[in-house]
Structure 1
Amino acid sequence: MHGDALPGWTGDLDSALDQKLGIELVEVGADRVVGRMPVVGNTQPLGLLHGGANAVLVETLGSIGATAHARSRGMVAVGLELNITHLGAARSGWVTGVAVAVRLGGTVASYQVEITDEDGRTTATGRLTCLLRPA
């Protein structure tokens, strides 16, 4: 799920679902997380990228950002709320998600995520809010 330039702790967050969807991390930080996912293998019956796969990408990227923030405080992050809006269809190639921190507080971290296709078109947006709690 991650490359050599990423923090080593990201390997501890590699989940079976992320592996099944083929999610790859590109950039990791508390302020911004970038990852990508193939469309092939993650489609619904009409051949479009499954909305649930989009939701998993949003949750994965936001959770990793929140974890980066929480780790700096000796805490862990757990999801509180996830929402996603599907704006366009992806049928092939890869989609890329960019999660940008909206709030990095002492007890809450929230991320806005934009998912784009290989042509740069926004296919979905989402938001993940995580609770930070003691490790």
Structure 2
Amino acid sequence: MQLSKKDTLERAKLACKNTLMETLQIEMIDFGEDFLIARMPVNSRVYQPDGVLHGGATAALAESVGSFASHIFIDTDKFFVRGIEISANHLKSVKEGFVYAKATFIHKGRTTQLLEIRVTDDADNLISICKLSTIALPKK
């Protein structure tokens, strides 16, 4: 049985309870056949000392949405997903509002996946571009 979009996003919200995603207030907000979008508020929780979005928080957002994208597109009864490498290029700073991370697949293999995550601000300016490699491992 395939879940509705609303039910899938609700399950994502529940999966984030008591995790880094909840701490950073990361929320999965939309997905389609080959993408997933999450958002994170930019506030003092995610600032670096000079009051702008910390690159580490951006990388955490990117890894969260990319790993979750891999997760929702595999058979989770048989496999679990782990991130194995992430790279991030930060292009612009943000002081307030939200940042949005859209993960799309570059490669969707049976074992390894490669995703591009574009992080944008409320005005759709490109803030960071990230690449994430994930691996699907069999559950024992």
The alignment's TM-score, normalised by the length of structure 2, stands at: 0.86
| CA deviations over 1:68-122 (Å, ceiling 9, x no partner) | 1222683111111111110000011111110001111111111100001111110
Give runs of aligned pairs for residues 1-135 of structure 1, distance below 5 A. 5-7=6-8, 9-11=11-13, 13-14=15-16, 15-29=18-32, 31-40=34-43, 41-71=45-75, 74-135=78-139
**Shift in alpha-carbon separation, 1:71–1:10, aligned structure 2, 3 A:** farther
**AA paired with 2:107?**
R
Shift of 1:27: 1.4
Corresponding residue SS for 1:58: helix
The alignment's TM-score, normalised by the length of structure 1, stands at: 0.89
Stretch deviating more after TM superposition (70-79 or 50-59): 70-79
**Shift in alpha-carbon separation, 1:79–1:101, aligned structure 2, 3 A:** same
Q: CA RMSD in A?
A: 1.9
Corresponding residue SS for 1:71: coil
**Shift in alpha-carbon separation, 1:24–1:12, aligned structure 2, 3 A:** closer
Shift of 1:29: 5.0
Shift of 1:11: 4.2
CA distance, structure 2, for counterparts of residue 99 and residue 119 of structure 1: 18
**AA paired with 2:19?**
A
**AA paired with 2:31?**
V
**Shift in alpha-carbon separation, 1:6–1:29, aligned structure 2, 3 A:** farther
- Is there any run of 5+ residues in structure 2 with no aligned partner, and where? none
Identity of aligned residues (%): 27
Corresponding residue SS for 1:5: helix
**Structure 2 contact 87–131 (Cα < 8 Å) conserved:** yes
- Is there any run of 5+ residues in structure 1 with no aligned partner, and where? none
